[in-house]
Amino acid sequence: MYSKSVKLRKKKYREALMTTVIGVKCIDGFVIGSDSQLSIGTRNKEIGYDKIYHVGDKLIAFSGDKDYFERVLDDVVDKILNTKIDNFGELVKIFEDCTIYLHKKFPITDENYTEIIFGTAINDEVDFYRINSHDCFAIKINNFHATGTGSIFAKYIFKRLWDAKLKCLDAECILAYVINETTTIDQDSSPPVNLAHISNDAKIYFSGRDFIDKVIENISKADKIFNRDLLRYITNPQS
């Protein structure tokens, strides 16, 4: 028998078109990757949408309902640009206050469940968090976190490649591959892949399309070689 929490989680992810977003903590910063499918309402979608934003030296990405996220973003941008943020707690409070306000003002249902990943660098240290439209409190990401309907596939693939000593460039290459693979499995996720990262000195970088496509092409070739060799060893383990 499933527990209550499992039932609720399955209901949210079954009814909400959430696509795929992954955040990864690295030794020299933090990387966010996403697919490009956009959820509009409960059954509509748009392809080719970039879900990674930067506001000053803050990086924000979302998976879930577009209308809800835009309400969050409007409020958050205004507060971030008009507030001197000296520590991560102040940034977290801005997001928590905004989601609590929206939770009270607008009816939140499973159909518009949304999760946001956000963070920045302060005093040469990067911290990233996740917050959703139901719980309204932020949780720090210490290694990596995947959200959306494709997250179950992305987590499985990414765990096989995870290393606590990853640098941002390495993580971007892995995420390009993982998210692209996820789009071939999850019907609510679609290419192209988008990537961005914040370095420890608070500089934000968005990866170019040529770089992302080349990484996907090269790693996909290596993956085919691995699968071919694995199949050979399975069918003839003594070779």
Between 195 and 19, the more confident residue is: 195
> Which tokens is 89 given?
């707690």
**Range 109-127 average pLDDT:** 85
214 is a domain residue: no
In percent, the amount of the chain with pLDDT more than 90 equals 55
Measured CA angle at 14 (ends 97, 184), to 5 deg: 105
154 is a domain residue: yes
At 107, the pLDDT band (50, 70, 90 cuts) reads low
**CA-to-CA separations, 76 to 11, 32, 58, 176, 214, in angstroms, rounded:** 28, 19, 11, 28, 35
d(CA 154, CA 9): 17
Q: What is the pLDDT of residue 125?
A: 93
Q: What is the pLDDT of residue 109?
A: 58
CATH number of the domain enclosing 168: 3.60.20.10
228 is a domain residue: no
Residues in the chain: 239
pLDDT at residue 150 tops 60: yes
Tell me the per-residue pLDDT of 26-68, one tens digit each, with 9 for 90 and over.
999 999 999 998 766 555 667 788 899 999 899 999 988 888 8
232 is a domain residue: no
pLDDT at residue 5 tops 60: no
Looking at the DSSP assignment, which residues form a beta bridge with residue 121?
126
**Range 125-153 average pLDDT:** 92
Q: Measured between alpha carbons, how far apart are the two ends of the chain, in Å?
A: 44
Distance from chain centroid for Cα 19 = 9
Task: Supply the mean pLDDT for the chain.
Answer: 85
The count of structural domains within the chain is 1
Measured CA angle at 219 (ends 217, 225), to 5 deg: 105
Q: What is the pLDDT of residue 237?
A: 76
Handedness of CA 102, 105, 108, 111 (dihedral sign): negative
Q: What is the pLDDT of residue 128?
A: 95
193 is a domain residue: yes
229 is a domain residue: no
Which residues form the domain of 109? Answer: 4-208
129 is a domain residue: yes
Predicted model pTM: 0.85
197 is a domain residue: yes
Highest mean pLDDT among 12-26, 62-76, 195-209: 195-209
